[in-house]
Amino acid sequence: MNTTPVWSVDARTGDRTGEVAVEADTAAVDAAVRAAHAAQPALADRTLRAAFLRAAADRLEAHGEELIATADRETALGTGRLTGELARTTYQLRSFADIVDEGAFLDVVIDHADPKAAPAPRPDLRRWKVPLGVVGVFAASNFPFAFSVPGGDTASALGAGCAVVVKAHPDHPATSELAAAALREAAVAVGLPADVLALVHGRQAGVDLVQHPLLNAAGFTGSIPGGRALFDLAAARPAPIPFHGELGSLNPVVVTEQAAAERAEEIGAGLAGSFTLGMGQFCTKPGLVLVPAGAAGDRLEKALAEGAVDSPSGALLDARMRAGFLAGFAERAALPGVSVPVRAGEDGYAVRAGYLSVAAARLAEDAHEVLLEECFGPVTVVARYRDAAEVEAVLGRLGGNLTATLHAEPGEADAADLLARLTPLAGRVLFGGWPTGVAVAPAMQHGGPYPATTSTGTSVGGTAIERWLRPVAYQGVPEALLPVELRDGSVGVPRRVDGVLER
Amino acid sequence: MNTTPVWSVDARTGDRTGEVAVEADTAAVDAAVRAAHAAQPALADRTLRAAFLRAAADRLEAHGEELIATADRETALGTGRLTGELARTTYQLRSFADIVDEGAFLDVVIDHADPKAAPAPRPDLRRWKVPLGVVGVFAASNFPFAFSVPGGDTASALGAGCAVVVKAHPDHPATSELAAAALREAAVAVGLPADVLALVHGRQAGVDLVQHPLLNAAGFTGSIPGGRALFDLAAARPAPIPFHGELGSLNPVVVTEQAAAERAEEIGAGLAGSFTLGMGQFCTKPGLVLVPAGAAGDRLEKALAEGAVDSPSGALLDARMRAGFLAGFAERAALPGVSVPVRAGEDGYAVRAGYLSVAAARLAEDAHEVLLEECFGPVTVVARYRDAAEVEAVLGRLGGNLTATLHAEPGEADAADLLARLTPLAGRVLFGGWPTGVAVAPAMQHGGPYPATTSTGTSVGGTAIERWLRPVAYQGVPEALLPVELRDGSVGVPRRVDGVLER
């Protein structure tokens, strides 16, 4: 039996504050998945699981003070941010309850039998979606609530009717334990088995989880190497499973000459606020900003530098990220042609934000490729371009992203072409504004081409539920044996019946 | 340059009838994918691509006589079946044209900005789906039209706005060339570049295709080993791509005691018709049939045997399948406890159907595992069970399937439980009837848990188009810069606006 302790660490000091759990060994992971698998059928009742999601939100709010204090100690994200994140998380749980009640996600399609159909007679066919089974959720470092135990992957998977086994992130094990307990309590309170949600700790536990024969899908938020390793394991299984991984994103921003001329100070200050928000620990942080060479761009950089200098220092999530950020900044700053208008650095155990500036033409050099890779933490790279060809050259070197942003003036002739150019690069394309801040809304898309995401799904917004379902068609089944949602008459869910969409 | 000739072979004799093309080498595959990639933007116009799909159907009909004669020579499927298959194929193309016109598949979701939204102000967000890019289609042996060059994968990918490169199946290269020419002519006729559809031949061409950096997704219909090898290549790419593979299926059938008692002769005859249809070369062929021990089951087997003996002999698709079928039958027939009520065998170059019978309890033995694997061709396995526990033991050993069928009487107490038991095993669950014959209908689901399919998609029916799309959300984009489908007002496509579904 694995007795490796799991420590809670104070993110502001790096000190261990207590032993929270032990790492799950292979047998413990197996037990968790089997228990979830056994609990899974209880989630078939849509009314019950909507009630569960709402009860989970209520419990999290009831335990809010302790959750926020614990998360603040473990992540240093601050009680203000964490209060907002918890509100976002409970809103998300309740949103999925509404989605479960509405039933549109079931994608019901009914075709009545038509013996005279051309080119061939048609049997009675009724299609809807059923839960995939047990889902593994790999929690994120940077959102101890919204992308962790009670986060969007969990909420959407439970909403789909899947039991969930969460692999906790080592940055916030105590928060994870508290949140898992709240969710399990909520399950029991509404009459579901507690094991519809389980929690495991430890790196090997994650490896065991994604390979477990009874796991049917996984969701992941984290780094490109870690996510790719798990994706590869998921794909190499005897029976491969869907792996929805959000791995990393540079989130390019293009500022046109005209936008810089009109709004240099606003854009510079906005960029400073966005790349330092949450100490730059957002997957949507703008990491590469294409700014015109010349006077307007200079004004933009001046405002950016002022904002960066003014932004308060702060602790990063953990010591590894701290080291990675400092080393990543230094590596980039040392490249030929890269200037360092604001140097990042240490402030005791905390760090200060910084930014780099480089001629866009340099980004065509292989040695500078690292500037096109995400560096977690409060750093961004400004690339100064002289013409449209240089913008195109940089964009042509980018992989997939969660977001891409255009700052242009509405009447600009090139704006439409630039938006069209950014669309293949990202899952969310912004006109103005900043990509940090991901609204929980039906139209959100938080997921983009690889490596941003390993699938075409989204991990935020109502359609996140689609990732955990598969369609099943029933042919010739008597009405009495069909799920109520597939029977004739008014059953309260939107459907397509004989080709016609019904509300 | 590869100069390996591609031969057209007469399926009824095994004789080469002509050299059709040469295999595509790496450079040729690269050229095809690049040409498709360059042609792709022209498909952005929905009206144009709907017109293209209809023009493609028209051209195929115009060339119908030559297509059918060529396919009949290459596959021996018979002009009757092939006439029906071509009708199904043109119907499918036109159905996707209607789907493209309707626009529901764009999944448009609009959330207007709401500065007062809780828990956070919401920006204007408008989400729809965009084509993934160039799609590789790996054609099937057994449907020279409906699952090949002009088949469902191609039609749905073109409908989604993706250019297509088809890897021809070696069983019907001449048919493939004719069909590709018809589609390319249709493209040009409506004003699209011909290269929205390309055709390549050769095994290595398929390997090159799935690994090409500009390929964005693939569809496949074929064997488990071949499909898994390509799936593995798709997953191992630097940037993995979706691989929608339909690999193989046993298509289990459960006949209850009561159904056998009431309808033994009807079920036996129906089964004989289904497993010998098209010389057993359907992915939905019922390959394992659970029949009760005792008198009613004996009557069923008697009818089955009569039907099997009466079914005409015929040529299989190619010499490899012929050899595989004969060897597969012999291997299964030689197992201890397996009886051979009707022995399959040779009839000149043609083959005769046969079936095997075994006590269900024997299927628990590892040596008999091959009976739970698909054997392509006119063979099925009847497993005689004594009680519900034996049925459950067999079902518990099955992997995923395209279909699962229950023959029960409507009033039977166990019918609901049996349907629920079959649902996790398949993508389509039938009550009565037979799984062969896959209706092209909105509610069809042709795809099931692995190894039946490598994804949760379907390759038949309207929702097949979903496989070739990814969502993009636009945030804060002025209306004039948005695609018309995302603008305010009535734009003629179904949408969800501010949470409300609109027709």
Among A74, A162, A257, A283, the active-site one is A283
Contacts of A437 in chain B (CB under 8 A): 120
Query: By residue range, what is the domain housing residue B49?
Result: 19-102+131-247+455-469
Beta-bridge partners for B125: B111, B475
Both A295 and A366 in one domain: the answer is yes
| Domain annotation covers residue A200 | yes
Query: pLDDT digit string (tens) for A403-429?
Result: 999 999 988 989 999 999 999 999 999
pLDDT digits (tens, 9 = 90+) for A253-280: 999 999 999 999 999 999 999 999 999 9
B248 touches chain A (CB under 8 A): no
**One domain, residues A230 and A339:** no
φ, ψ (nearest 5 deg) of residue B25:
-85, 180
Does residue A295 lie within any of the structural domains? yes
Decide if A14 is inside a domain: no
What's residue B1's pLDDT? 67
Q: Do A410 and B443 touch (CB under 8 A)?
A: no
Q: Are residues B243 and B257 in the same domain?
A: no
Specify whether B35 is located in the same domain as B163.
Answer: yes
Residue in chain A closest to B460 (alpha carbons) equals A473
Identify whether B109 is part of a domain: no
Q: Is A246 marked active-site? A: yes
Q: Give the number of beta-carbon pairs within 8 Å between A and B.
A: 223
Q: Are residues B272 and B411 in the same domain?
A: yes
Same domain, B24 and B89: yes
Query: Is pLDDT of A1 > 70?
Result: no
The DSSP bridge partners found for residue B453 are B246
Q: Does A115 touch chain B (CB under 8 A)?
A: no
| pLDDT under 70: residue ranges of chain B | 1
- Any CB–CB contact under 8 A between A343 and chain B? no
Within-domain flag for A495: no
CATH number of the domain residue A223 falls in: 3.40.605.10
B342 and B198 share one domain = no
Q: Are both A215 and A114 inside the same structural domain? A: yes
Confidence category of residue A224, pLDDT binned at 50, 70, 90: very high
Q: Do A427 and B472 touch (CB under 8 A)?
A: yes
Instruction: Tell me, yes or no, whether A230 and A313 share the same domain.
Output: no
The pLDDT tens digits of the residues spanning A343-356 come to 999 999 999 999 99
Structure tokens of A146?
């919204």
B88: nearest Cα among B296, B278, B270, B242 = B278
A90 CA: distance to closest CA in chain B (Å): 9
Q: Residue A119: which of B84, B231, B501 has the nearest Cβ?
A: B84
Are the beta carbons of A205 and A170 closer than 8 angstroms? no
CATH number where B268 lies: 3.40.309.10
Instruction: Sort out which chain B residues have CB atoms less than 8 A from A107's CB and list them.
Output: 463
Q: Among B235, B470, B477, whose Cβ lies nearest the Cβ of A456? A: B470
Picking from A87, A126, A439, the nearest residue to B125 by CB comes out as A439
Cβ of residue A419 closer than 8 Å to a chain B Cβ: yes
CA dihedral A21, A24, A30, A33 (to 10 degrees): 50
- pLDDT classification of A503: cutoffs 50, 70, 90: confident
DSSP notation for A149-195:
TTSHHHHHHHHHT--EEEE--TT-HHHHHHHHHHHHHHHHHTT--GG
- In-domain check, residue B417: yes
pLDDT for residue A158 is more than 90: yes
Structure token digits, residue B127: 């989400």
**Residue at A356 is within a domain:** yes
A162 is catalytic: no
Domain count, chain B: 2
Distance CA B298, CA B294 (A): 6
Q: Is A37 on the interface with B (CB under 8 A)?
A: no
Contacts of B501 in chain A (CB under 8 A): 104, 494, 503
Q: Which two tokens stand for residue A266?
A: 């606003």
In this complex, do B475 and A451 lie within 8 Å of one another by their Cβ atoms? Answer: no
Residues B258 and B241 in one domain: no
Do residues B328 and B374 share a domain? yes
- Nearest-Cα residue of chain B relative to residue A244: B242
Q: Specify if A301 maps to a domain.
A: yes
Same domain? B148 vs B88:
yes
Of B111, B419, B428, which is closest to A441 when you measure between CB atoms?
Answer: B111
